[in-house]
A and B are shown apart, each in its own frame.
Chain A
Amino acid sequence: MLMEKSLVENGFIIDLTGAQNTSQLIYELSSIMEHPQVKGKNICLKLGKLELKQSQLLSIKALIESMDASIAFIDTTAEQTEASAMSLGIQLSTVSQEMSSSMEGINSKEISELAASQIKTEEVIIKTEDGIYDNHGEAKTIEIQADTGIQSGTIATTEGIDDIYDEITTQELTEVIPSEDYNTTDFGSVAAIEGLLPTEETSKYILLDTGNVLPEGIEENSANTEALPTLYINQTLRSGQTVSYEGNILIIGDAHPGSEIIAGGDITVWGILGGIAHAGNNGNITSKVRALKLNAIQLRIAGLYARRNDTLNVPYVQKSNEFTPEEALIENGKIVIYKKLRRD
């Protein structure tokens, strides 16, 4: 069954055996997505004994592909992961002694060191009955509103629908303030257009004729969203839950229809975005919305609001085995969608 390989051309070893669960694994992967060494490489992915379902492995594959890399093979000792890989046509092999000594690579420990070197302060934000505080006890401006589900910073396992991240048993909200040299530029700049620009009938999103909806006193601006702090949210947002934050928001999980994400900067959902996403709500017209699967019922960027096209046949149950990362941004006064994120 296993293939013998001594060396992988243009290979790069990502050793995630330090990750305890799927959410940690995805978190680690997403924190090296900017790592310039990964770009264009054939990734040898060490997953150890973590059991992964097909859908989970698929989202990992999508993550790696969005880094412009590909999976050469997977090194796993878990039966389920092996089965998932086989059904997805992903090769299985082992990272040999020879490989690890002759190829470049990174492991969980180095990833967290790398992340720490990029991050000036890491704060845990705690939601209590009477407000949201960081770990120094200071009140925060972020807000998650919900009638149910959130108590004192932990959320019980979400069962059923969010298959992909079902190993998340507790959630923590972590605010990451980038230092000056924190570099997120590549991910933001999209160059590739696949196919022609869509027409009104075929376009996925259609502007609402609300005009510019910016509240009075707020002006359009093009501030650099990469300079803004980012709020990481390690949970699935359910109908009725709102997250708002003055910087960028990164959600590792899905945003179900009926949920709302409001950010001063960019919104990134590593999962299915089905609710309302409002990027650049303080007037920033360069803000973007990205998701592994972009099904938002409405997209709002700065003062422009767009609705999902009625003709778009979104299956009633959105679960899917296909992830086509997409990005929404303002172009010529319209909200346009780009398929597949790609670096310059």
Chain B
Amino acid sequence: MTGRVIVITSGKGGVGKTTTSANIGTALAKSGYKVVLIDTDLGLRNLDLLLGLENRIVYTIVDVIEERCKLKQALVKDKKNPNLQLLAAAQTRDKTAVNAEQLKEICDILKEENDFVLVDCPAGIEQGFQNAVAGASEAIVVTTPEMSAIRDADRIIGLLATKEEITSVKLLLNRVRPNLIKSNEMMSVDDVVGILEIPLIGIIPEDTGIITSTNKGEPIVNDEEAMAGKAYRNVAERILGEEVPFLNLDEPRGIIAKLKSAISKLKVKV
């Protein structure tokens, strides 16, 4: 088996790379695929927290590289789904503890035994970025509908284009707020895609549930109700090659709005 190695990157910090990695990884594992998530944000690791796995980490990627343990020993199984494993970043080291060749080697080994290897990239375009993309053949660029994030995403897309190994670059637009788009206060999805000119793989709405899910160490894809969870499940399906229409984020969600729509449906029936 040769699995797919996908790097999740953005340029700008804090736009949702780690949230995206945790959620897509969990969704793919739930569909029965073997997935390894690699946290390459050395010194500022977060992925373990989002998955609620911090207390299980004994070895990190640096221990693997410095040969203090075998790669297998460093893989932490998810609490719920043994198909999902995490290779954690070291918290007490900095980016220089790892180089691109070493990361590529790890990806190459992991893809032999897994369907997906998802690499959570640190912010920036320096060593950490170079390391994270080294073993990947696909990339998901995460951005929010903000000028600064889009500018950085554009820069990243340009850099990715110079990497021969990377054959697919897709866009994930995060923290979208339909209300703001409607009132012309936020760039629309079309605007962003128009600027960046790469295919869209997902639109994730702004969802306060993400904050609680982060604090609980439970990715939001596990929440059947949440809009963002649904959107991430759709991204996973698109990665698997299925054609899934983009969610209608305008869907009324408040109680009154729901009532109104229920009433309007009734009227139609009558």
List A residues at the B interface (Cβ < 8 Å): 145-147, 208, 210, 213, 215, 239-242, 257-258, 260, 297-298, 305, 307-308, 310, 316
Cβ contact within 8 Å between A241 and B58: no
Number of A-B contacts (CB under 8 A): 35
Q: Assess whether A298 is in contact with B55, with CB atoms less than 8 Å apart.
A: yes
B58 contact set on A, CB distance < 8 A: 208, 210, 213, 298, 305
* With known contacts A310-B79, A316-B215, A297–B92 Cβ distance under 8 A: no
Q: Tell whether, in the assembled complex, residue B55 and residue A308 are in contact, meaning their CB atoms are under 8 Å apart.
A: yes
Which chain B residues border A298 with CB–CB below 8 Å?
55, 57-58
Measured CA separation A145–B62 after assembly (Å) = 15
| B52 at the A interface (CB under 8 A) | yes
A310 & B92 in contact (Cβ 8 Å cutoff): no
The 3 closest A-B pairs by CB, nearest first: A307-B55, A242-B92, A308-B55
Contact status A147-B52, CB under 8 Å: no
| Interface magnitude class on chain B | 10 to 19
**Chain B proximity of A261: nearest CB distance (Å):** 11
Query: By DSSP majority rule, is chain B's interface helix, strand, loop, or mixed?
Result: loop
Q: Evaluate contact between A297 and B91: CB separation under 8 angstroms.
A: no
Which residues of B pack against A, CB within 8 Å?
A: 43-44, 52, 54-58, 68, 73, 79, 91-94, 215
With CB as the reference atom, state the residue of chain B lying closest to A148. B43
B68 neighbours in A (Cβ, 8 Å): 215
Q: Is the CB of B52 within 8 A of A260?
A: no
Contact A145 B92 (CB under 8 A): yes
Q: How far is the CA of A239 from the CA of B57 in the complex (A)?
A: 15
The CA of A147 and the CA of B56, in the complex, are separated in Å by 24
Residue among A213, A239, A240, A242 facing the most chain B CB atoms (10 A cut-off):
A240
B92 proximity list for chain A (CB < 8 A): 145-146, 240-242, 260
**Cα(A308)–Cα(B54), bound, Å:** 9
Partner of B43, one of A147, A208, A307: A147
Query: A258 — which chain B residues lie within 8 A by C-beta?
Result: 91
Instruction: Report the minimum CB–CB distance from A40 to chain B (whole Å).
Output: 38
Give A229 Cβ to nearest chain B Cβ, in Å: 23
Residues of B within 8 A of A210 (CB): 58, 73
Give, as a whole number of angstroms, the nearest-CB distance from A339 to chain B.
Answer: 20
Chain A residues near B56 (CB-CB < 8 A): 208, 307
- The interface residues of chain B lying within 8 Å CB-to-CB of A239 are 91
Instruction: Tell me the complex Cα distance, A210–B55, Å.
Output: 13
